[in-house]
Chain A
Amino acid sequence: MVRLKRFFKRFYLAILLFFLYLPILMLMVYSFNGGKTMAKWTGFSLNWYVELFKDPVIMEALGVTLSIALLSSLIAVVVGTLAAIGINEYKKWPKTLTINLTYVPMMNADIVTGISLLLLFIFMRIPRGYGTLLIAHTAFNIPYVIFSVLPKLRQMDPNLYEAALDMGATPSYAVRKVLIPELMPGIMTGFIMAFTMSFDDFVISFFSTQGLVNNLSTYIYSMARVGINPKINALSTIMFVCIITLLIVTNVQANRHSKKQQKQQRI
């Protein structure tokens, strides 16, 4: 019994992780497959990595995904940060109302958000394309920024900004030099979350453009029915490795940083 318990403790997390990574492993392994399907292993080959960069459609889809993620989260950061600063000053009921409405895109089912945006674009006769994709992504990104910045505003001394104005700073100067630096950690968190959300999204992209703009996920959706293209496996492998490297680098840096601090404190 005790042994079983110890076994369980030691391996439970490992087993879970194994299941989480099993399909990813499968994708990565088969990106090095010579053959075209995941049904048969025909031999090691780097062919798909070469082909990948020659495929204009995949490259364009990658470009759309990255540029939409970048643009929509940048817009979201600007609009969202300003909004948070403003909302923080609101009186009780307008504040509650705006905050609750801001929850809507976060809490609503993705499919409902996508559909309602599609209805709006049809109603306003906006042709569905890159523009509507950008609007849709910005729409679900702004709330993440607002809710990352608001807590930081609450922690802040409310008189700081007024003090800056009293000392003769222009509002824009006061915002740039006083408010923004204080809010920076929140803004950064918001940006990263927005970027991730946009990068990952499939459902809202699919419905708000009727699948007519190829970003990576809608492209995968339309192509994969014919059989997953190993080029996509290769691309995902590259991206995955990039993200892991990035995480390791930031982690190591953060560690060094905290160790340095500890040392300094000791001195």
Chain B
Amino acid sequence: MKKTLALVFAILLLAVSLVGCGGAGGEKTTIHLLNWGEYLEPTLIDQFQKENPDIIVKFTNTTSNEEMYTVCATEGTEIDIVVPSDYLVERFINEDLLAELDLNNIPNFKYVEEVSKTRTFDPESKYSIPYMMGTVGIVYNKTLVDEPVDSWDILWDEKYSGQILMYDSIRDSMMVALAKLGYDINSTNPEEIAKAGELLMQQKPLVYAYLTDEIRTSMIGGSVALAVDYSGAAVGAIQENSDLDYVVPKEGSNVWVDNLVVLKSSKNKEAAERFINFLCDPEVSKKNSEYIGYTTPNAEAMKMIDPELLENPAYPISSDVIDRCEYYKDLGDDLSLYNDVWMKLRTAG
């Protein structure tokens, strides 16, 4: 007994020291990236670390802007770079949580400048650099839905009861209901918000499940008819299952841009800017975009993108889609209206 224990002990120590050795040696800066799941081509970190041997990139994943906010706004975080969406950047700026970027350290900025200027929350790129873009729409299975899909209404059609997946996120759920009702997707009118909430409550019995990243796998599986999902996830799903299609409903939707920002509390701003610059490199951005499926804001990268991807109904963001879509805005204190409605929806049985 004792011998075996000693042996186990020795093996454990060995394992720990072996695994621990990886990070040793030299004066290295570690930058910590807080990212969405499956939102960075996995070999790119290796490539960056090879090109910049003095930097180690660590990353953690989250699934919502809300969780991202919580983690970054809690005192004493060791996160350096975050990838928030439009409205979260706005909130970060309002709460003074972001470091001002030095664009001299990000020469590749010129490739994303065009898109950057259109971002109402930070047109001068003082705090944020566009990373990827996309829309929110409906992914559907053509073998299970035989009517044309062009409206959010279909998500309330009882014919599809138990075959609908909703995105488990406050803003996206509310957006769908607000858009269906014809209201502004950034509405702060309590009555409109309450009505949208009621609509989501009515929909609950029809919904198979509220999921996030798992929607992609479920849709590929082919047993679910309709799902609300992000365009990039839809790209991947359509690539693996040709029965699927993607549409941005006619009532309008959310077009979003996720951005690279450095937190004010970061002690490694310069290294972080080097990583941001790396991600803005056209070759890198192309490779990244082709892997994760979201649309690159990088003009040079876009020219090189795989033509097959441009054929994918979810990849390119056409101008008429942009016309009927909007960015989310930070709601400030009115956010609690959304939270209350959403909690009611989630806690209901």
Contacts and interface: CB of A to CB of B under 8 A. Distances in A.
Contacts of A121: 76
A70 interface: yes
Interface in A54-106: 56-57, 59-60, 62-63, 66-67, 70
A210 B217 contact: no
Interface in B39-95: 59-63, 70-71, 74-79
B125 interface: no
B1 A253 contact: yes
A222 B16 contact: no
Interface string A216-232: 00000011011100000
Contacts of B34: 212
A129 B12 CA distance: 22
B-side interface mostly = mixed
Given A63-B20, A67-B20, A253-B4, A211 B75 contact: no
B153 to A, nearest CB: 29
A222 B37 CA distance: 7
A126 interface: yes
Nearest to A191: B5
Interface in B133-170: none
Contacts of A127: 76-78
A109 B213 CA distance: 28
A225 B63 contact: yes
Interface string B170-181: 000000000000
Contacts of A188: 5
Given A39-B220, A59-B22, A125-B76, A226 B16 contact: no
B60 A212 contact: yes
B4 A128 contact: no
B60 A66 contact: no
Interface residues of A, number: 34
B12 to A, nearest CB: 6
B13 interface: yes
B334 interface: no
Interface in A117-171: 121-122, 125-129
B37 A223 contact: yes
A66 B12 contact: yes
B217 A250 contact: no
Given A39-B220, A210-B70, A222-B61, A62 B78 contact: no
Contacts of A122: 74-76
Contacts of B19: 59-60, 62-63, 66-67
A211 B61 CA distance: 9
Contact of B62 (A57, A66, A222): A222
B22 A56 contact: yes
Given A225-B37, A227-B217, A253-B4, A212 B71 contact: yes
A128 B3 CA distance: 38
Contact of A246 (B8, B61, B71): B8
Interface string B7-25: 0100011011001101100
B38 interface: yes
A249 interface: yes
A66 B1 contact: no
A257 B1 contact: yes
B214 interface: yes
A189 to B, nearest CB: 12
Contacts of A126: 76
Nearest to B37: A226
Contacts of B108: none
Contacts of A222: 37, 60-62
A37 interface: yes
* Most chain B beta-carbon contacts within 10 A, residue among A212, A223, A257: A212
B328 to A, nearest CB: 22
Contacts of A212: 32, 34, 60, 71, 77-79
A226 B4 CA distance: 39
Contact of B4 (A66, A70, A250): A250
B312 interface: no
Contact of B1 (A39, A125, A227, A250): A250
B319 to A, nearest CB: 31
A214 B35 CA distance: 13
B212 interface: yes
A70 B22 contact: no
Contacts of A128: 74, 76-78
A67 B16 contact: yes
Given A66-B16, A223-B61, A225-B213, 16 more contacts: A57-B59, A63-B19, A63-B20, A66-B12, A67-B16, A67-B20, A70-B13, A125-B75, A211-B62, A212-B77, A225-B37, A225-B212, A227-B216, A246-B8, A249-B4, A253-B1
Interface of B: 1, 3-5, 8, 12-13, 15-16, 19-20, 22-23, 32, 34, 37-38, 59-63, 70-71, 74-79, 212-214, 216-217, 220-221
30 contacts: A37-B217, A37-B220, A57-B59, A59-B22, A63-B16, A63-B22, A66-B12, A70-B12, A70-B13, A70-B16, A122-B74, A122-B76, A127-B77, A128-B77, A212-B32, A212-B71, A212-B78, A212-B79, A222-B62, A223-B37, A225-B63, A226-B38, A226-B214, A227-B213, A227-B216, A246-B4, A246-B8, A249-B4, A254-B1, A257-B1
